Structure 1
Amino acid sequence: MSATRIPPIPPQQAGPLTRVIYRFCKRKFGEVPEPMAVMANHPKLLTAAAAHESLVDRATTVVDKGVVEIAVYRVAWTIGCSWCVDFGTMLMRLSHLDIDKLKQIADYDTAAAYDDDERAAIAYADAMTATPTTVTDEQITDLRARFGTDGVVELTYQIALENSRARAYSALGITAQGFGTDSCRVPWASD
């Protein structure tokens, strides 16, 4: 098990609201996601992040879930956030999406597993994740034809959010927790 750069807060040391968030996460995911346990060092930000993630999840309804998830996964894969790749795999599995296509993410532009909408979303994720960004007017025009204006805004927001998550979790040393393999590492198991 690798150690995070900031230690996670175990439930017995957490405040009342953090314990509520932990219980909710444990019910929903089977375990407390380690980023939440690390963010519990700043309870106000933890609360804000939990509320934000919940609201964004409920508001994401325009673009097909599989397209959004594969674009978000590509961001995590590109940045190299093992936790996000792990968690994203679980989310795709729980949504009954084809996780076998993740093995072909490096070759999405030629792999038969991906359709044209997925390819366009992944290329957009790549363009947004590049530093500096390389998004073109032609990409936006194509994406608007595929998903509508509100769909482009939704996809843009989800890709930007994953860039934020993946970079933050990587910086904090948060690594794969085992969600993608149903074998979760419990941050405070050694206590």
Structure 2
Amino acid sequence: MAQRVTVKALKKYPFWLKPFFISQKRRYGEVLQPGLLWARVPKLFAAVAALYGVLDRKRSPISPVLRSLVTVRVSQINWCHFCVDINGMTLAKRSGSLAKVEQLEQWQQSDLFDDKERAVLEYTEAVTYSDQQVTDEQVMKLRDYFDDDGIVELTGLIAFQNLSSKFNSALDVPTQGFCSVSFNPEKKVD
């Protein structure tokens, strides 16, 4: 199936969005399809870009590798092929290998993930799967690693990635060839 909504020619977007597109082209080698879709409603694009910038800042209490683990896992759950593609590439760069990307769907059975990552991934899944609820025990595990502000930021990151991956999945945004690792999304089994 083709992407469900088309993007406009770059020249048809407002001039004030051009720096965003130039930055994407410089960083990724091309303009990202989701950016072009969000930009069909320029104020919405600006709001989403600002939120992403806050969540992916250098001084975040959540490490870059942990942020990428969260974004890839949420993307897998929400069947967002584009998100797994780009976030998988970012995780591989940040962690120094493809190993965690390749093992993330089976993180519970893998030795690659430490206790902090396991606590965050368990919480990520509880927030993301609509048939689950976050438990007090999960939040208590997070308190071993984060203060209240960190837990709020982690929850914001998970919520943002749910927004992004559901947007891209609903519009059937294709991969752009950033990461060679594929995934086989399936419904959660208890």
1: CA distance, partners of 2:59 / 2:5:
31
Q: Which runs of 5+ in 2 are unaligned?
A: 181-190
Instruction: For residue 135 of structure 1, report the CA deviation from its aligned partner.
Output: 0.7
Moved over 3 A (4+): none
Instruction: For residue 161 of structure 1, report the CA deviation from its aligned partner.
Output: 0.7
Instruction: For residue 52 of structure 1, report the CA deviation from its aligned partner.
Output: 2.2
- Secondary structure at 1:25's aligned position in 2? helix
Q: Tell me the residue number matched to 1:14.
A: 13
Q: Tell me the residue number matched to 2:98.
A: 99
Distance 1:31 1:43, change over 3 A: same
Q: Tell me the residue number matched to 1:136.
A: 135
Contact preservation (8 Å) 1:10, 1:37: no
Q: Deviations over 1:13-62 (max 9, x none)?
A: 22212222211211222211110111221122122222222222227611
Greater shift in the superposed pair: 140-149 or 157-166: 140-149
Q: Percentage identity across aligned positions?
A: 32
2: CA distance, partners of 1:59 / 1:24:
17
Contact preservation (8 Å) 2:92, 2:101: no
- Secondary structure at 2:109's aligned position in 1? coil
Q: Deviations over 1:129-167 (max 9, x none)?
A: 111442100110110112222221121111111111111
Superposed CA RMSD in Å reads 1.8
Greater shift in the superposed pair: 119-128 or 2-11: 2-11
Q: Which runs of 5+ in 1 are unaligned?
A: 182-191
Q: Deviations over 1:64-102 (max 9, x none)?
A: 221221122111011110011001012223334433222
TM-score (norm 2): 0.86
Distance 1:78 1:117, change over 3 A: same
